Amino acid sequence: MPFDFYVNLVSTGVLNGLVYGLMALGLSVIFGVIRVVNFAHGEMAVVAMYAAFVLFRGFGIDPLVSMVPIAAGLFALGYLLQAGLINPFVGRAEHEQFILLVGVAIILVNGLLMLYGPDARHADVSYGYDSFEVGPLLLDKVRVYAALAAFAVAVLLFLFFRFTRTGTAIRACADNLVGAAVIGLDVKHLYALTFGIGAACVGAAGALMILLTDATPMLAPSYTLLAFTIVIIGGLGSQSGALAGGVLIGVSESLASFFIAPSMKAMFSFGLLILVLLFRPQGLFGRRT
């Protein structure tokens, strides 16, 4: 039954892709509002993975639970980063922002390397090898839980931006910065909140990621690139685009892993990225500005 097999392959990709999408969502929110590209994004994801690993190993806390405090921790880290380090660089030359965040990225990833060494770390939850059977589908429990959690966080974020005063204020900053400042919004504080929210997304995504794959510090740059790829493909600044882009990349990875070779899966993502950059630079789901 080859058809069932393909369906399984695709659904695994979709589930992975939702977690990727949540990670990319963080990047998209930060760029969409602050117009700063977070080159330390994958590094933050891996910091969250290690946090989830430590909480699981040390205290037996399931990553599905620990994602809440981890997201809160990364929110604080993101808020402080933006308030203390990045705010003065808003509106400066792109390469200066880039260097600032590359500095942060280098410190984070090598800090992990110093603390935990280069070995892969894994959280072997009790249901790690269980699966749900839905008709012909065989879905790993960890993937289903992680994907559902990621989707829930994404929905919460969407509701936050749509229906809360703070969310509306942040959208105002994104739409018209001068106007937002004129009506008395505290832009610096809102920027710091935004970076915190983006970091919280990547924190939650990182905690979920430890369910799907082993953590090593060396994952960090590739996750930064993965998040970029997804965000560009989905459309910079588009929230639904980030999720959809994540799913697309998840499926492409899972198909490429099977049909070509697991080590070549990223090649397809980069190929897709190049095509999108050339032919639809606003992204598949974005609007041209």
Partner 1 sequence: MIGRIFGGLPPRARLLGAALVAVLLLVPLVADRYVVSVLVLVFAAAYLGQAWNIMMGFAGQLSLGHALYVGVAAYAAAALYVHFGIGPWAGLFVGMALAAAFAAVIGFLGFRFGIEGVHFALLTIAFAEFTRIGFDHIAWTGGAGGFFIPVSQVQFDLLNLRGGPTMWYYVMLVLMLAALALCRYLTRSRVGYYWLAIREDPEAARALGIDIFRYKMIAVVLSAAMTALGGVFTAFYYNNLFPERVFSINSSIDLILAPIIGGLGTLMGPIVGAFILTPVGEALIGVLEHLGLAVPGAKQIFYGLVLLAIIWLRPDGVWPWLARRLGVADEDRR
Residues 112/218, Cβ–Cβ less than 8 Å: no
| Amino acid sitting at position 120 | A
Distance in Å, CB of 286 to partner 1, minimum: 12
Please work out, in degrees rounded to the nearest 5, the angle formed at the alpha carbon of residue 284 by the alpha carbons of 283 and 286. Answer: 60
Residues 23/147, Cβ–Cβ less than 8 Å: no
CA distance 262 to 192: 38
Q: Cβ closer to partner 1: 98 or 158? A: 98
What are φ and ψ of residue 261, in 5° steps? -165, 140
Distance in Å, CB of 182 to partner 1, minimum: 27
Is residue 225 part of the contact set for partner 1 (CB under 8 A)?
Answer: yes
- Kindly write out the interface string for residues 37-56 of this chain, putting x where it contacts partner 1 by CB under 8 A and - elsewhere: x-------------------
What's the token pair of residue 79? 């808020």
User: Which residues from 254-283 bind partner 1, rule CB under 8 A?
Assistant: 261, 263-264, 266-267, 270-271, 273-274, 277-279, 281
Binding piece for partner 1, criterion CB under 8 A, among 10-18, 66-74, 95-103, 188-196? 95-103
Residues 255/9, Cβ–Cβ less than 8 Å: yes
Residues that bind partner 1 (CB under 8 A): 37, 85, 89, 92, 94-96, 98-100, 102-107, 109-114, 117-118, 217, 221, 225, 228-229, 232, 261, 263-264, 266-267, 270-271, 273-274, 277-279, 281
